[in-house]
A = this chain, B = another copy of it.
Amino acid sequence: MEPSDLAGMALIAVAGPEDALAFVSSGASSSAALEQEMNAVLNDSGVPRWPGLAAALLRWRPRLTDLAPERDLRVVERLGGQLLVPEDPEWPVALSELELNEPIALWVRGRALVIPEQKRCIALVGSRDSTSYGANVAMEMAATLVQRGFTIVSGGAYGIDAQAHRGAIGAATGRQFLPTLAIMAGGVDRFYPTGNEDLLRAVAENGAIVAEVPPGANPTRYRFLQRNRLIAALCEVTVVVEARWRSGALSTAHHADGLSRTVAAVPGSVYSANSAGCHRLLREGSAVCVTDAADVAELAGAPGTQLTPEQLGAPAVHDGLGVEDLMLLDALPLRSVTSVDKLTIVAGIGATAVLAGLGRLELLGLAERANSGWKRRC
C-alpha cells in the first residue's frame, strides 16, 4: 500500500501486520466485525469517514501479484542495507508521533544502518532552483552543524537539499556518527534524481539513504509529499533555507509545525523570490528566524552557544554611563575648556552632580582638567 494509507494502517492496528497481509491475500470479502474495529481506530485518530474495507480491498488486491517481499529483501541486502520495522529496537521512536501516519517500514542503506536520535537530527530543506546565496548558506550551515555533532537530514533533491548533503559530507572526516541522511521518495536501490547520482552515492558511503517504500518503487509526486512528513518527524528542527512563495519545502515545514517540532527559516533579500517562502513563514510566525548554525544549534537545545565577536560588537565609550554622566559628556567641549557653572547650565544637572560626574568621567579617561576648567578627552 501507499504511505499513509489510513485504511491499511487501521487494518494493521487491528489485526497486526502478518494477519493483515494474510487477510488481504486470502481473497476473503469484507468483514463487518473487522470493519467495525477499523472504524473505531480511525475515529480515535480523528478520521471522520472512510470509504470502507471493501473499497480498500479493491485498492490493495490488484497489487498482490507484483508483491515480492523476499526479492525486495535480497535487493536491499545485496546493497548492504536492511529493512527496519516498528518492532525492531533500532526503530526511531520519533516516528511514533506520526500516529496513524507512522510508516510501516524503513529501508536503509549506508555506512551504518541506524537513524540518529531526534535531538541530534536537523533537517535542512529548500527549493531545487536555489540561488548561490541559498546554496552557500545551506552548505555552511550543514558543515558547521556536523562539526557540532548534528546529523543533517534532507531529501536528496537538487538545489538546497544537495548543498546540505554536500556540506555535511565535507565536514564529516573522522567523525563516528552519520553526518547526513537522505530520505527518498522512491526505493533506496536507485539514486534519484540521476543528476545527483554521485552525491547520493557519497551520502550512502558516509551517511545513509532511507525510504519507506521498497526497492524498485518509483518516486511519485504523492510519495514526495509523504516523504516530507518523515523528514519533519525525524528531526528536532526543520530549517527552510530558501523557498519560493509556493514551494515543496514549505510542506516539510508545515508537517514539522503539525508535529509541534521547531521550524526555522533563513531570511534573505526581500527582492529574492527564492526567499519569499521563508519570509512568509517568518511573517506568519510559524518559523523562527535563524542566520547561522549557532542559531539552529540553540533551537535544538545545544548548550554553550557563544555569541560571535561581531554580535558582541565593540563597546561604545559611553556604554554603562548613567543618564546624568551621559548628559555631562555631551556638554563637555572637545576643543575649548569650560567651567563647572557652565556645565551645570548646558548639561541641565545640578552642580554637585556635575562635580561627581566629572570625577567619574576623568577616571574613565573621558574628561580631563585643563587650566582652571574641564574638556572632553579624545
Residues of A within 8 A of B (CB): 1-2, 5, 55, 58-60, 62-63, 65-66, 133, 137, 218, 220-222, 244-246, 266-271, 273, 275-276, 278-279, 282-283, 285, 288-292, 295, 310-311, 313, 316, 318, 323, 326-327, 329-331, 341, 344-345, 348-353
**B288 pairs with A220, CB closer than 8 A:** no
How far is B65's CA from A55's CA once the two chains are assembled, in angstroms? 96
Contact B291 A270 (CB under 8 A): yes
| Structural contact, A2 and B327, CB atoms closer than 8 A | yes
Q: Are A323 and B222 in contact (CB under 8 A)?
A: yes
- A-B contacts, 18 listed (Cβ < 8 Å): A1-B348, A59-B348, A65-B345, A137-B270, A221-B318, A221-B326, A221-B329, A222-B326, A246-B313, A246-B316, A266-B270, A267-B269, A267-B278, A267-B279, A267-B289, A268-B270, A276-B291, A283-B291
Q: Which of B245, B275, B348, B350 contacts A311 (CB 8 A)?
A: B245
Find the B residue at minimum CB distance from A54: B350
* Complex interface: chain B residues within 8 A of A291 (CB): 270, 276, 279, 283
> For the complex, what is the distance from the CA of A348 to the CA of B66, rounded to whole Å?
11
CA distance A60 to B327 in the complex (A): 14
Picked from B59, B60, B316, B351, the residue with its CB within 8 Å of the CB of A58 is B351
In addition to A218-B330, A246-B313, A267-B279, 10 A-B residue pairs with Cβ atoms within 8 Å of each other are A2-B327, A58-B350, A58-B351, A65-B345, A222-B326, A267-B275, A269-B269, A273-B310, A276-B291, A279-B291
Q: Which chain B residue has the least Cβ–Cβ distance from A341?
A: B62
User: With A221-B326, A222-B326, A267-B268 given, is the CB distance from A245 to B348 under 8 Å?
Assistant: no
- Given A244-B313, A268-B268, verify A62-B289 contact (CB < 8 Å): no
Interchain CA distance A356-B288 in the complex, whole Å: 43
Residue in B222, B311, B345 whose beta carbon sits within 8 Å of that of A327 in the complex: B222
**B310 contacts A276, C-beta separation under 8 Å:** yes
- Residues of B contacting A316 in the complex (Cβ-Cβ under 8 angstroms): 246
A257 to chain B, nearest CB (A): 16
Q: For the complex, what is the distance from the CA of A264 to the CA of B63, rounded to whole Å?
A: 55
Shortest beta-carbon distance from A274 to chain B in Å: 11
CB distance from A264 to the nearest CB of B (A): 9
Nearest CB to that of A281 among chain B residues? Answer: B289
Give the 7 A-B CB pairs with smallest separation, nearest first: A58-B350, A267-B267, A220-B330, A282-B289, A270-B291, A62-B344, A283-B289
CA distance A284 to B344 in the complex (A): 41
Measured CB to CB, the nearest residue on chain B to A307 is B245
